[in-house]
Amino acid sequence: MNEKESALHSEATEKQGSNTRYSFNLHGSSSNVKSKLQQDREYFINTFTRFTLQNFIQNKLVERSVIPYNGNFSKCHRASIGSIISLVRNAETSRAYYNNVVTCANAMCCPVCSARIMGKRSTEIKKAVHQWLNEDLLNTCYMLTLTFAHGLQDRLADLLVAFKLALEAFWRNGSLKRLLATCGRVGRITATEIQYSQTNGYHPHQHILLFCRKTDFDLAALRGYWLRALETVGLSGLSDIALDLIEARSAENYLTKISSEMALGNLKQGRGSGHYSPMQLLAEAADGSGWATDRYIEFFRAVKGMHSLCWSRGLKAYFGIGNISDQEITDGAAQPELTKFLDMISDAFKFLSASEKALLRNYAAFDDFEHAAALLDRVGAEYWK
């Protein structure tokens, strides 16, 4: 077993460990389901973390000349659009958002925008899975995971180019196409994720949700197709690790997998396991770690223009789901269910620190106008209900 293969083995073992930790049973009645109170408490704390991490990385990227001072990423939740900023809330879920502020809509890198985007995308995925499973008893979903061997010396940008080519070769494979045609496949949703490990470097992988009929897939054949695709682009992998396929008869199963990296509940976990999600890397960087800052910046540069979530052509239309862009989500155009909590003069935003923006948004989430008003009075901001 060469170095890369042994790295992949140890990674897979650790990943299997985390699978157990996050796994939901197929009927959705897992003991891992958090109470509303727990979820609210996490949301409250996470809001602070998100705004603090955002502020840190905006300053750092400008300081290192990675992004311009006046670009959307550095202006996200700092500059306004027009003279009035609104705080809006979802009364049903107790979540709040700023409208009429500049947003970067960077679903992979922005700690603030990614949460709002993921919230909306989760709803779309749940709707599709629910509809599909209820359409016919033979319908089901499979979660396909694709990865490959990599090492500490590999540059992320190079890995992503090779990974993309391997994926194209895989889906072009005639045998695979024929197999998918016979299992009634209507489409797939692809989530691309990247983790980092101090021993094995960047770990790009995809979790793909396949919408098809219950099928006895020949795993050995599927693995053969993927390994061959990897070989054509100079990559490699271990058969039983590079491709994994499990039935996923609930959206939670898939969502838990793909959103665990954006959820901030386990930010400190990276240090123990040596594996970091982008948000964990960012938290480490904000704590003063130089290597984590460099690795996050490499990640930021390499994923430019990439989409974290992709639906195959026609799949959204099949389920009657409209095509809304990430920007429309963060601009607030895609959530008509939100109601106004308060309006304030845009200039007021300049006087709020990152934690005050977080605190104010939390007051809005939990409908606490009294405390929100006290905070705005303290900074001398003009506002009204």
Q: Which long-range contacts (CB under 8 A, 24 or more apart) does 126-131 make?
A: 126/251, 126/255, 127/319, 127/321, 128/189, 128/211, 128/251, 128/315, 128/316, 128/319, 128/321, 129/209, 129/250, 129/251, 129/254, 130/251, 131/319
Q: Which is nearer to Zn ion, 110 or 329 (CB)?
A: 110
- Which residues in 268-327 contact Zn ion (CB under 5 A)? none
User: What track of x and - describes contact with Zn ion for positions 70 through 109 (by CB under 5 A)?
Assistant: ------x---------------------------x-----
List, in order, residues 6 or more apart from 276 with CB less than 8 Å away: 195, 196, 197, 270, 284, 292, 295
Q: How many CB atoms lie within 10 A of CB 93?
A: 14
Q: How many CB atoms lie within 10 A of CB 64?
A: 12
Quickly tell me which residue has 């996470």 as its tokens: 46
Q: Which residues pair with 342 in a beta bridge?
A: 87
Q: Which is nearer to Zn ion, 113 or 286 (CB)?
A: 113
Least CB distance to Zn ion at residue 148 (A): 30
Least CB distance to Zn ion at residue 57 (A): 10
Least CB distance to Zn ion at residue 244 (A): 32
Q: Which is nearer to Zn ion, 51 or 196 (CB)?
A: 51
| Gap between the Cα atoms of 207 and 165, Å rounded | 17
| Closest among 331, 378, 371, 370 to 352, alpha carbons compared | 378
Work out which of 57, 67, 110, 376 binds Zn ion, going by CB under 5 A: 110
Contact range with Zn ion by CB under 5 A, out of 44-52, 68-76, 129-137, 338-346: 68-76
- Which residues in 209-238 contact Zn ion (CB under 5 A)? none
| Using rule CB under 5 A, residue 57 touches Zn ion | no
Q: Which is nearer to Zn ion, 21 or 307 (CB)?
A: 307
Report yes or no: 188 and 204 within 8 Å, Cβ to Cβ.
Answer: no
At 189, list the tokens: 């949703």
| Gap between the Cα atoms of 136 and 57, Å rounded | 47
At 247, list the tokens: 């039935």
Least CB distance to Zn ion at residue 76 (A): 3
Q: Which is nearer to Zn ion, 11 or 331 (CB)?
A: 331
Least CB distance to Zn ion at residue 209 (A): 26
Q: Which is nearer to Zn ion, 200 or 346 (CB)?
A: 346
- Which residues in 32-51 contact Zn ion (CB under 5 A)? none
CA angle 209–212–218, rounded 5-degree value: 85
Work out which of 96, 101, 107, 113 binds Zn ion, going by CB under 5 A: 113
Q: How many helices (H) and strands (E) does the chain have?
A: 17, 10
Q: What is the DSSP letter of 87?
A: E
Q: Which is nearer to Zn ion, 104 or 258 (CB)?
A: 104
Contact range with Zn ion by CB under 5 A, out of 92-100, 110-118, 212-220, 281-289: 110-118
Q: Which is nearer to Zn ion, 111 or 237 (CB)?
A: 111
The pair phi, psi for residue 206, each rounded to 5°, is: -125, 140
| Gap between the Cα atoms of 53 and 47, Å rounded | 10
Contact range with Zn ion by CB under 5 A, out of 56-64, 69-77, 178-186, 376-384: 69-77
Contacts with Zn ion: how many residues (CB under 5 A)?
4
Least CB distance to Zn ion at residue 120 (A): 14
| Closest among 260, 124, 130 to 205, alpha carbons compared | 260
Q: Which is nearer to Zn ion, 97 or 254 (CB)?
A: 97
List of residues contacting Zn ion (CB under 5 A): 76, 104, 110, 113
